[in-house]
Amino acid sequence: MSKSGNGGNISRGRLMSSLLKEEMQRVLFRPAKQRLVEFIEIEEPTHGRHFLCVSVEKGKVVQLSIVQCQISKSSMKSGSKKSHTKRSSIQDSYRRTEMWSLQNLTLVDGRDPDVDDPCFLLHFDKVRTVTATSCSAKYAFVRALVALSDQHCQRSLNLRNFDWAYIKPTSFYSNRGDCVVLSQICFYALNLVCLSMCPVPLEV
């Protein structure tokens, strides 16, 4: 596949994700006076698509929830009073099947930071196993949880078995290439200084 085609697929994926977020916000979260901040699709044994969502209420309470999406059919009448027909409308139906408060989340366990593992564990009163569709989605969601915990819960989220460089990249990691170049320049400069201080034998 060409680079342009791959870029097109990424753009379409982002567009679909944005549209899905807007749809869930309109249908499910806005009526509950909540703002959907982040969501990822997860794998569940039951039928339909499932999403792990994190939302913020007006009172700054942060909630995590599992949202199930199923296709539903509804009948609509059309035509005149004497002669009317029924037509079916197919639409997505969203409902929350599980909910927790971020305040009650005691630990997020990534299981193994050295393996490309999309699974992680949310420790509430009981441990909830979550399997994302990719490891990058898993890290994106955990980064959102870390930021929301710092902002609204005034505490650092307890993490275990994550690569911290991908959770909170520091300036060292983000500018690692610049650091390497700078260290090489310093090394060469030091060599030049040492060479200039060495005595040069004179010919007799």
Which has more confidence, 174 or 142? 142
Q: Is the pLDDT of residue 88 over 70?
A: no
3-state secondary structure string across the chain: CCHHHHHHHHHHHHHHHHHHHHHHHHHHHCCCCEEEEEEEEECCCCCCEEEEEEEEECCCCEEEEEEEEEEEEEEEEEECCCCEEEEEEEEEEEEEEEEEEHHHCCEEECCCCCCCCCEEEEECCCEEEEEECCHHHHHHHHHHHHHHHHHHHCCCCCEECCCHHHHCCCHHHHCHHHHHHHHHHHHHHHHHHHHHHCCCCCCC
Q: What CATH class does 3-74+88-169 carry? A: mainly beta
pLDDT-based confidence at 74, cuts 50/70/90?
low
Q: Is the pLDDT of residue 60 over 80?
A: yes
pTM exceeds 0.85, yes or no: no
pLDDT-based confidence at 178, cuts 50/70/90?
very low
pLDDT tens, residue by residue, 14-33: 788 899 999 999 999 999 99
Round the average pLDDT of the chain to a whole number and report it: 81
What is the reported pLDDT for 171?
A: 40
What is the reported pLDDT for 59?
A: 83
User: Would you kindly state where each structural domain of the chain is located, as residue ranges?
Assistant: 3-74+88-169
